[in-house]
């Protein structure tokens, strides 16, 4: 991998003798909120750990501006693309074909890198980007001397699927040819997501397991009016973005319809991507129940989770990190289509004693779900131990580990006169 030893960014004339380290992040955001929420957590941690760092996030999420970012962080929005349940993609908003939208995204990404000239680049999950849109920019940043990092979550998909998919998309070649570091945002003892992917020994040696990304309660108010039931013990039911959460929400509502004596009330967060039709139907049913409330979306859901007694979720990465961080007894009801990511994560969590898992029979081909099964699972949450009883040492050290891993590269950047600042590495 050829690298040109030139400064990756120009001195800041406003700060003689020292310039601002620049980190560019890429979050392709083709589905839900997972990528932008993970990128936000990392960006906030980096901005808080390193003085004067500037972080710019390239994102396709229409809701990126809804979240709380620390000073020193901004984002560039590229046209969104959306993934349907069958795995096909289309333009999210523009009335253009997918190839043209991808071309626009590719051009904007490259122009951003040319103008920003990052010292460090961090891509989320997709080494080549959506449909290879990152590759020209990765080559460009190689000539700038940018340190290029690919970060992946703890579980990607089944080993067979991810090996074939990454091969077809050119992701394996991109990771091999263009990246200096591979960060896995999870614990090695929990799961090793890259074992099935062929890679040179040199690249394999660059894999670092950071631990999960600890979350905290955001400052300020959420701007969302919480139901009265949140003043006492309650179960939080969250499906993340909500696009694929209708089945879980229906099952929880049906449990309270069948058994009004479930010990704790429930507060359901629909998610911004649940369809209006489904939301209206669910709200009508909830309005007839005395022990179930709902809100549409909370960009600071960490505040609500911190209040909750227990959590019911599908098992997406960010929610999993939040459950661990706030140490809540949890029931995971994962989806297994089109990806097995949630199922693998939930299965491992149950095996290790961190959380309980309930298999959705509809995911396995059944025509319906038994409300009684869910009612009993909700009642059992009252006596379930928190994840900390079974947690591994360092399991939530991810943000600190990422900051420490990048520190030598940030501190070794040249100052305005060309001399290095900090200790270097």
Structural domain includes residue 420: no
- The pTM (predicted TM-score) of the whole model is 0.90
Question: Is there a single domain that holds both residue 404 and residue 384?
Answer: no
Structural domain includes residue 153: yes
Q: What is the CATH number of the domain that holds 237?
A: 3.40.50.2000
Question: Is there a single domain that holds both residue 210 and residue 233?
Answer: no
Structural domain includes residue 419: no
* Contact indicator for 267, 304 with CB cutoff of 8 Å: yes
Nearest to 112, CA basis, from 100, 97, 90, 129: 129
pLDDT at 226 over 80: yes
* Contact indicator for 261, 232 with CB cutoff of 8 Å: no
Question: Is there a single domain that holds both residue 207 and residue 265?
Answer: no
Structural domain includes residue 6: no
What pLDDT, on the 0 to 100 scale, is given for residue 85?
A: 65
Question: Is there a single domain that holds both residue 115 and residue 198?
Answer: yes
Q: Which of 282-286, 293-297, 358-362, 417-421 has the lowest mean pLDDT?
A: 417-421
What pLDDT, on the 0 to 100 scale, is given for residue 416?
A: 46
pLDDT at 217 over 60: yes
Structural domain includes residue 4: no
**For residue 415, what pLDDT band results from cuts at 50, 70 and 90?**
low
Give the integer Cα–Cα distance in Å for 160 and 193: 11
Q: Which of 33-37, 156-160, 179-183, 199-203 has the lowest mean pLDDT?
A: 33-37
What pLDDT, on the 0 to 100 scale, is given for residue 113?
A: 98
Structural domain includes residue 45: yes
Q: What is the pLDDT of residues 99-133, one digit of tens each?
A: 999 999 999 999 999 999 999 999 999 999 999 99
CA distances to 41, 241, 244, 395 from 274, rounded to whole Å, are 24, 7, 7, 32
Question: Is there a single domain that holds both residue 30 and residue 167?
Answer: yes
Segment 146-157 shows an average pLDDT of 97
Q: Which of 87-91, 202-206, 286-290, 338-342 has the lowest mean pLDDT?
A: 87-91
Residues in the chain: 425
- pLDDT averaged over every residue in the chain: 89
The strand pairing partners of 56, in sequence order, are: 24, 74
What pLDDT, on the 0 to 100 scale, is given for residue 421?
A: 36
**For residue 33, what pLDDT band results from cuts at 50, 70 and 90?**
low
> What does the DSSP 8-state code read for residue 104?
H
Look up tokens 């979720």; give the residue: 313
Question: Is there a single domain that holds both residue 349 and residue 406?
Answer: no
Question: Is there a single domain that holds both residue 298 and residue 232?
Answer: yes
Q: How many domains does the chain have?
A: 2
Structural domain includes residue 330: yes
Greater confidence (87 vs 20) lies with: 20
pLDDT at 425 over 50: no
Question: Is there a single domain that holds both residue 194 and residue 265?
Answer: no
Segment 33-38 shows an average pLDDT of 77
What pLDDT, on the 0 to 100 scale, is given for residue 65?
A: 64
**For residue 37, what pLDDT band results from cuts at 50, 70 and 90?**
confident
Task: Decide: helix, strand or coil at residue 292.
Answer: strand
Give the integer Cα–Cα distance in Å for 88 and 131: 12
Phi, psi of 313 (to 5 degrees): -150, 175
Residues 6+ apart with CB under 8 A from 289: 253, 256, 257, 260
Segment 180-208 shows an average pLDDT of 93
What pLDDT, on the 0 to 100 scale, is given for residue 368?
A: 96
Segment 402-414 shows an average pLDDT of 89
- Count other C-beta atoms under 10 Å from residue 397's C-beta: 17
Q: What is the pLDDT of residues 311-343, one digit of tens each?
A: 999 999 999 999 999 999 999 999 988 889 999
* Contact indicator for 87, 81 with CB cutoff of 8 Å: no
Segment 212-234 shows an average pLDDT of 91
Residues 332-368 as b or e (16 or more Cβ within 10 Å = b): bbbbbeebbbbbbbbbbbeeeebbbbbbbeebeeeee
Question: Is there a single domain that holds both residue 385 and residue 402?
Answer: no
Q: What is the pLDDT of residues 272-315, one digit of tens each?
A: 989 999 999 999 999 999 999 999 999 889 999 999 999 999 99
Interior CA angle at 301 toward 156 and 298, to 5°? Answer: 110
Domain span at 317? 228-389
Angle between helices 317-326 and 34-49 (to 10 degrees): 50
Question: Is there a single domain that holds both residue 377 and residue 407?
Answer: no
Phi, psi of 251 (to 5 degrees): -65, -40
**For residue 362, what pLDDT band results from cuts at 50, 70 and 90?**
very high
What pLDDT, on the 0 to 100 scale, is given for residue 404?
A: 95
Question: Is there a single domain that holds both residue 244 and residue 178?
Answer: no
Structural domain includes residue 253: yes
Sort strands 81-83 and 89-91 into parallel, antiparallel or unpaired.
Answer: antiparallel
Question: Is there a single domain that holds both residue 93 and residue 196?
Answer: yes
Give the integer Cα–Cα distance in Å for 227 and 144: 52
Give the integer Cα–Cα distance in Å for 84 and 82: 7
Q: What is the pLDDT of residues 51-65, one digit of tens each?
A: 889 999 999 887 666
Q: What is the pLDDT of residues 379-405, one digit of tens each?
A: 999 999 999 999 999 999 999 999 999
Q: Which of 78-87, 192-201, 233-242, 309-318 has the lowest mean pLDDT?
A: 78-87
């Amino acid at each position: 991998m050829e690298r040109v030893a030139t400064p990756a960014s120009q001195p800041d004339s406003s700060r003689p003798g020292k310039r601002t380290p620049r980190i560019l992040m890429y979050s392709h955001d083709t589905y839900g909120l997972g990528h932008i929420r993970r990128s936000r957590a990392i960006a906030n941690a980096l901005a808080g750990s390193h003085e004067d760092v500037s972080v710019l996030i390239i994102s396709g999420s229409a809701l990126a501006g809804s979240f709380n970012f620390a000073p020193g962080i901004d984002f560039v929005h590229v046209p969104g693309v959306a993934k349907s349940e069958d795995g096909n993609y289309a333009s999210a908003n523009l009335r253009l074909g997918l190839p043209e939208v991808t071309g626009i995204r590719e051009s904007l990404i490259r122009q951003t890198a040319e103008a920003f000239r990052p010292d460090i680049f961090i891509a989320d999950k997709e080494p080549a980007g959506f449909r290879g849109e990152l590759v020209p920019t990765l080559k460009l940043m190689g000539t700038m001397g940018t340190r290029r990092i690919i970060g992946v979550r703890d579980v990607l998909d089944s080993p067979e699927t991810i090996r074939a998919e990454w091969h077809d998309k050119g992701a394996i070649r991109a990771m091999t040819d263009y990246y200096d570091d591979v960060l896995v945002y999870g614990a090695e003892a929990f799961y090793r997501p890259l074992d099935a992917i062929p890679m040179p020994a040199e690249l394999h040696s660059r894999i670092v397991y950071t631990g999960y990304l600890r979350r905290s309660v955001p400052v300020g108010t959420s701007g969302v009016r919480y139901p009265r039931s949140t003043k006492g013990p309650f179960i939080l039911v969250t499906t993340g973005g909500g696009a694929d959460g209708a089945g879980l929400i229906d099952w929880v509502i049906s449990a309270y319809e069948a058994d009004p004596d479930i010990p704790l009330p429930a507060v359901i967060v629909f998610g911004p991507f649940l369809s209006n039709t489904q939301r209206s139907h669910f709200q009508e049913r909830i309005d007839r129940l005395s022990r179930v409330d709902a809100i549409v979306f909370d960009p600071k859901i960490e505040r609500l989770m911190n209040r909750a007694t227990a959590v019911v979720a599908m098992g997406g990465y960010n929610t999993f990190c939040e459950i661990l961080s706030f140490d809540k007894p949890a029931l995971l009801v994962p989806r297994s289509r089109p990806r097995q990511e949630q199922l693998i994560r939930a299965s491992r969590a149950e095996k290790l004693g961190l959380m309980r898992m309930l298999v959705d029979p509809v995911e396995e081909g059944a025509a319906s779900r038994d409300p009684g099964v869910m009612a009993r699972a909700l009642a059992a949450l009252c006596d379930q131990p928190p994840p900390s009883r079974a947690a591994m040492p360092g399991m939530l050290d991810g943000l600190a580990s990422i900051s420490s891993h990048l520190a030598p590269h940030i501190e070794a950047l040249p100052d305005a006169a060309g001399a290095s600042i900090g200790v270097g590495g």
